[in-house]
Structure 1
């Protein structure tokens, strides 16, 4: 008798997971993105035009705003001592006016002498650099040949030469405009300092939600604290730089060392470009002032040494990592603002960058802007290696 067959054992089923196949779709630029980019570009161009054509009003306003941010802690400290804001603001503005008057009066003599001697200095520089010009004589020859090929020697062609006004006349015509801007700046500064926290209070009342009010208060306080700390620190560093430049140039016998020290103090507010301008000016005057070319090279060498010490040691060590800025962003900002507003624009470019960076700390949508304006970020591995 046959035994019944046992049912065959079922093999365990294996589940094989297949990775989904992704098909890369072509990227289609939407019309909304193009429209948004176009609107932003048009807005930037219109804003640049408005900044350029309205500079007579905007320059005093921006200078007054930056100075008010710098001097507001002083007004607030005097208020704790019982001195009203209007009185302290008046005292501060009168002190600034006295400093400007004394500085302008003490430096007017050397500056006017420089303006008068500018043609003579230029002629002497050309005479002392004749051997250097000889190295590049072929450039003049090529230029003459190009003029001849372009018909520059044709007697029938009438040449019109526009004579530009001299340095003395240009400076004299620009003095009333400078005085007007200084007066308007100090007048606006007086009202900004006397108003105290009025602008902050109005801003808090206008904002709709409680979170927006708190954020606005934090942003305004951080801007005031960080910008005033930055400007005070940079001012101290710049004064020390001017003193070292003045003493160094005095030691080697450079004429008007006080004027060079003051000029170096103000030029140091312009990152990178200010030092280059100061070195070029000192080198040009040193060539005229000293008998030998080797002695003349000492003056720009002294300025270069002090500028290197300031830019590579003092400023990074004292300013700190929090407000250390991206060098590319600084150069771009200085170039753009100098193109728009001249020297004043170059001076206020970095404080504006500091304000934007402080705002980016509190606004999530501006985090990318804050990272771009910041210095190079170190990775945790690099920090570990430095610690080791």
Structure 2
């Protein structure tokens, strides 16, 4: 029995490793599927609500997908000009930023020079064997990445359209796959719970991020940083990335603030305001609204973000929390996975029983 148990655990471990490998290698296949599935779970309650008023599922699904597509396309078009200018001017801005911070980074340059000397010494003093690989320009790289993500997003929205238009067909097929009535009832309750949790999370976090974007835009307007609307939209989008979004936005604000203001203190003021807004939102607003519904500990969220960021880069980080919500709901409804569900939750079993 012990040998069988060890073999079973080994097979489970191998299956998990192979699953991660498949997700990493075939990201262009699985990413639109995940986008479509999460989008469909988010808006399924909306389609069902429209159906109660006699609106066919196909009509409401097409309206939702078209609305989402037009919103994303319109926002991308309006922001394409400023973003393209920033990307095109990035090399010159980097030189200017380096000039303004030359006193601050002097020590870093000394460390870098020492490191290069050590590397040259390790290579026997011959640096002629170093081959310089010409990298593509930042603008070309960004354009290629955006085009690839846009194509995957379109495929995901089309997949979501088919799911939303089918109504409860997939729920019925899921229930029919289980043999007895108790399993059928549990599967149906689990599916509905997943739908409610993900829909509540995405719709609520979207409203919270919209409020954050307005606050950040007004703050940048107050301090005189150019393109306050762009900064508001950026704050809205980056806040969907747990942990890293706020830090990345703060660093960007610091860089552009230093470039646009004469003194270092004034240059860091936009970054300080951005950090204050995101910190206040993360510590008070979101926990107050989502705390009871999103019952997950910070460690599990952080680890999930790291894993999915490694697998699928920025799109993976965006879907990390929804995936964790899905996994947590499944664990809460399947007794054999209760240990994993307890680890993902913010409370221990003793606290839950109390």
**Which residue of 273, 279, 296 maps to 1:308?**
279
**Which residue of 237, 242, 254 maps to 1:266?**
237
8 Å contact 1:237–1:315 — kept in the other structure? yes
8 Å contact 2:35–2:157 — kept in the other structure? no
The DSSP-based 3-state class of the residue aligned with 2:319 is helix
The CA distance in 2 between the partners of 1:308 and 1:151, in whole Å, is 47
**Which residue of 125, 138, 149 maps to 1:167?**
138
> Structure 1's 53 and 148: CA in aligned 2 closer, same or farther, altered over 3 A?
closer
1:103 alignment counterpart: 75
> Structure 1's 290 and 205: CA in aligned 2 closer, same or farther, altered over 3 A?
same
2:34 alignment counterpart: 62
1:91 alignment counterpart: 63
1:326 alignment counterpart: 297
The CA distance in 2 between the partners of 1:212 and 1:138, in whole Å, is 66
The DSSP-based 3-state class of the residue aligned with 2:89 is helix
Residues 175-214 of structure 1 mapped to structure 2, 5 A cutoff: 175-214=146-185
| Alignment deviations for residues 333-364 of structure 1 (CA, whole Å, 9 cap, x no partner) | 00100100011100011011111111222111
Please state how far the C-alpha of 1:81 moved relative to its aligned partner.
1.0
Task: Name stretches of at least 5 consecutive residues in structure 2 with no aligned partner.
Answer: none
Is the counterpart of residue 335 in structure 1 residue 306 in structure 2?
yes
**Which residue of 332, 339, 342 maps to 1:361?**
332
8 Å contact 2:342–2:349 — kept in the other structure? no
Q: TM-score when scaled to structure 1?
A: 0.86
Name which of structure 1's ranges 141-150 and 282-291 shifts more when overlaid on structure 2. 141-150
2:85 alignment counterpart: 113
Please state how far the C-alpha of 1:141 moved relative to its aligned partner.
4.2
8 Å contact 1:316–1:324 — kept in the other structure? no
The CA distance in 1 between the partners of 2:74 and 2:131, in whole Å, is 45
1:345 alignment counterpart: 316
Is the counterpart of residue 150 in structure 1 residue 122 in structure 2?
yes
8 Å contact 1:204–1:217 — kept in the other structure? yes
Q: Tell me the C-alpha RMSD between the 2 structures.
A: 1.8
> Structure 1's 152 and 94: CA in aligned 2 closer, same or farther, altered over 3 A?
farther
The CA distance in 2 between the partners of 1:366 and 1:158, in whole Å, is 55
Name which of structure 1's ranges 355-364 and 344-353 shifts more when overlaid on structure 2. 355-364
Q: TM-score when scaled to structure 2?
A: 0.94
The CA distance in 2 between the partners of 1:269 and 1:174, in whole Å, is 19
The CA distance in 2 between the partners of 1:105 and 1:142, in whole Å, is 46
> Structure 1's 97 and 148: CA in aligned 2 closer, same or farther, altered over 3 A?
closer
1:39 alignment counterpart: 11
| Alignment deviations for residues 245-271 of structure 1 (CA, whole Å, 9 cap, x no partner) | 111111101111111111111111111
8 Å contact 1:227–1:351 — kept in the other structure? yes
The CA distance in 1 between the partners of 2:126 and 2:178, in whole Å, is 72
1:238 alignment counterpart: 209
8 Å contact 2:309–2:316 — kept in the other structure? yes
1:10 alignment counterpart: none
Task: Name stretches of at least 5 consecutive residues in structure 1 with no aligned partner.
Answer: 1-28, 384-388
More helix by share: 2
2:196 alignment counterpart: 225
| Alignment deviations for residues 149-168 of structure 1 (CA, whole Å, 9 cap, x no partner) | 2246437x333100100011
Please state how far the C-alpha of 1:314 moved relative to its aligned partner.
0.4
2:186 alignment counterpart: 215
Please state how far the C-alpha of 1:244 moved relative to its aligned partner.
0.8
The CA distance in 1 between the partners of 2:348 and 2:215, in whole Å, is 33
Please state how far the C-alpha of 1:140 moved relative to its aligned partner.
3.1
The DSSP-based 3-state class of the residue aligned with 2:262 is coil
The CA distance in 2 between the partners of 1:184 and 1:265, in whole Å, is 24
Is the counterpart of residue 130 in structure 1 residue 93 in structure 2?
no
